[in-house]
Amino acid sequence: MKADKTIGTAHPKWFGLALQALVVLSRKSDIYPSAAIADCLNSEATQLRRVLAKLSGGQIIETREGRDGGYRLKRPPETITLAEVYIALKVGEPLCSGMLETIGSQDSELSMKSAFVDIANEIEQNTIETLKQYTIAQLAEKTISCSNS
């Protein structure tokens, strides 16, 4: 997997990486090191730790520092919705906010910008509502276990 250079804020690809990591963790009851999770996902460990830090801040996983450190789910996977993950990552602006970049700054274009903002916010809310319908446990049931598990 290609490493994303984003450091300060979450990258949109982080959502998929986070979901995969949480599925791996849902199959473990003990602390699991980031290097092992990264190997399972064919990801770079440093990038994965950035994603896991966001999930820890969102109270989805817990971390243990040190040589025997690692990660585990803070709650049962049946209680963690994909919406919580999405929100914890705070990936950035709504999905379709790029359409705002197509609008100029003249007064005549302000009503178009306002309409686009309303649409983008509605799409974002609908995305969150859809993600609330799914849990990490449901996602894990649909996927194949990592060979390292």
**18 CB-side CA count, 13 A:** 29
**Given this model, what pLDDT does residue 9 score?**
55
Is the residue at 149 inside a domain? no
Q: What does the pLDDT read at residue 3? A: 43
What per-residue confidence (pLDDT) applies to 124?
A: 86
Domain total in the chain: 1
- Confirm whether 110 is domain-assigned: no
> Is residue 20 one of the residues assigned to a domain?
yes
**pTM of structure:** 0.79
Which residues form the domain of 84? Answer: 14-91+135-141
Say which CATH number the domain at 34 has.
1.10.10.10
- For residue 100, tell me if it sits in a domain: no
**The pLDDT of residue 16:** 92
Tens digit of pLDDT at every position of the chain (149 positions): 444 443 445 667 889 999 999 999 999 888 999 999 999 999 999 999 999 999 999 999 999 988 888 999 999 999 999 999 999 997 555 555 566 667 767 666 677 878 888 888 888 899 999 999 999 999 999 987 664 44
**DSSP assignment of 57-83:** HTTSEEEE-STT-EEEESS-GGG-BHH
Residues 95, 127 contacting (CB under 8 angstroms): yes
